[in-house]
Structure 1
Amino acid sequence: MSSSLVVGVSGSPSDPSRTSTLVTATVDRLAAELPDAETVVVEIGPLLADLGAAVDREHMSDTTRAALEAVEAADVLVVGSPAFRAAYSGAFKLFFDWIGQYDLVDTPVLLTATGGSDRHALLVEHQMRPLFGFFQSTTLPLAVFGNERDFDKRVGGYDIASVDLELRIDQAVRRAMPIIRGGFVAAGVDEVRRPAEF
């Protein structure tokens, strides 16, 4: 198998964002297991005005179209959302409303989420897994949830401050790899699908 495209999507409208920190860490951990992996992390926040105002993709900026195309071209997706009203964010849903209905069929998807407390942890099972069921994606067995205590704020962003969260990321990736590798073999992946720059 040659290189693969690992794409992360952070559904947080905030900057800086704990969700973005978690998604990026998970993408990096996955890429470490995949030889020559190319990685892209999509931040939905800066795309919101475009996603909400456009009537079709032709009326979107090149940056927004490239973000959507990167997700549709992904060999592996890592998606994340902060908890809003016991569900994923409206920003997260709006972005995936623009993704082609059949463009994520069989794509492995590792689910992540963040919230103020562990009471929001079932967001990934009760909200996110059904959404990617609609897309006929392969949601990977273990999701990763981080609460506020798992992160330290620093100038310009957040750092993961919890060994437990790092271990959860590692366990989710290790459990995912046999499925991801098996899917690549079955699909006969032999070339990189590169998104446009954005």
Structure 2
Amino acid sequence: MTQPLNTVVINGSLHRPSRTGILLNEIEKQISKRVSLETEFIDLVDLVPYIGTALCTDHLNDYAKQTLTRIEQADFLIVGTPVFKGSIPGLCKHLFDLVDMNAIAGKPVLLAATGGSTRHALMIDHQLRTLFGFFHALSLPAGVYATQEDIQDGLISSTALKQRLDLVANLATPVLQGIALQKQHNAEELIPA
């Protein structure tokens, strides 16, 4: 039995409840059916008062510093954000501006976004992959994009989105299982003979 992956789900929405949160919950649920996860959810809306004026980590309070530490120490990140005017919210980007540039190198990241129409779907590839490429994180091959038609009354209502979630979870599984096995191997090496 492998150890669960320390997973952090980051909701870049400034609203609660949000379609982004619903999408992220479903992604985590689908992946946890296939891989053992120990999950913590971080909502950007909770960090607004603490990171909005911080120019560096020295300006953060303990809560915001602990949040950054959880992100930096995660085995696996699931990051989702709404699209505003063709881009991610500035505070979501600012949160990652505060993350240590070497902390998530090589770590798998599953990317997701929500928007008002399908014309924003490429934001995942053009902005989020670029951002996590800077960190040398391992962006998983398929992301998830959803519109307001895909999520209705707090539920995933689109058959196409449900199929996409299944595909994304299946594509992520071999990578995450490999990370979990490596984590287990590293833990076993620390146990004295």
Matched, 1:166 2:162: yes
Q: Counterparts of 1:140 and 1:46 in 2: how far apart (Å)?
A: 27
Q: 1:190 to 1:3 in 2, by over 3 A?
A: farther
Helix, strand or coil: the match of 1:106?
Answer: coil
Instruction: Tell whether the 8 Å contact from 1:45 to 1:91 is kept in structure 2 after alignment.
Output: no
The CA distance in 2 between the partners of 1:61 and 1:104, in whole Å, is 22
Contact 1:6 1:27 in 2 (8 A): no
Count how many residue pairs are aligned between Structure 1 and Structure 2.
Answer: 186
Partner in structure 2 of residue 196 of structure 1: none
The normalised TM-score by structure 2 is 0.89
Q: Contact 1:4 / 1:38 at 8 angstroms: preserved in 2?
A: yes
Of stretches 139-148 and 40-49 in structure 1, the one that deviates more from structure 2 is 40-49
Which residue pairs with 1:195 in the alignment? none
Distance 1:138 1:65 in 2: 24
2:187 matched residue in structure 1: 190
**Aligned counterparts of 2:126 and 2:171: Cα–Cα separation in 1:** 20
Alignment of 1:28 with 2:24, yes or no, is no
| CA–CA distance in structure 2, aligned partners of residues 70 and 29 of structure 1 | 22
Give the Cα separation in 1 of the matches to 2:10 and 2:157. Answer: 21
Q: Is structure 2 residue 150 aligned with structure 1 residue 150?
A: yes
Structure-2 change in CA distance of 1:74 and 1:189 (3 Å): farther
The 5 Å alignment of 1:1-198 reads: 1-35=2-36, 37-153=37-153, 158-186=154-182, 188-190=185-187
Once residues 173 and 130 of structure 2 are traced to their aligned partners in structure 1, the CA distance between those partners, rounded to angstroms, is 22
Cα distance change of structure 1 residues 167 and 103 upon mapping to structure 2, 3 Å threshold: same
SS at match of 1:190: helix
CA distance in 1, matches of 2:179, 2:35: 13
Q: Is the 8 A contact 1:116 1:148 kept in 2?
A: yes
- Could you give the per-residue CA deviations for residues 125-172 of structure 1, whole angstroms, max 9, x where no partner exists? 01110100000000001110000001123xxxx222222212211110
Question: Which structure 1 residue ranges, 4+ long, deviate > 6 Å from structure 2?
Answer: none
Residue identity opposite 2:163 in structure 1: L
Q: 2:38, 2:30 → 1: CA distance?
A: 12
Looking at structure 2, the residues matched to 163 and 53 of structure 1 have their Cα atoms a distance apart, in angstroms, of: 41
Give the Cα separation in 1 of the matches to 2:26 and 2:65: 24
Tell me by how many angstroms 1:179 deviates.
Answer: 1.7
* Unmatched segments (≥5 aa) in structure 2: 189-193
* Equivalent residue, structure 1, for 2:191: none
Change (3 A) 1:85 1:178: same
Quick check: 1:77–1:108 contact (8 Å CA) kept in 2? yes
- Between structure 1 and structure 2, the one with the greater Rg is 2
Determine the C-alpha separation between the residues in 1 that align with 2:187 and 2:79: 24
Percent identical among aligned pairs is 33
Distance in structure 1 (CA, Å) of the matches to 2:91 and 2:55: 16
CA distance in 1, matches of 2:26, 2:147: 15
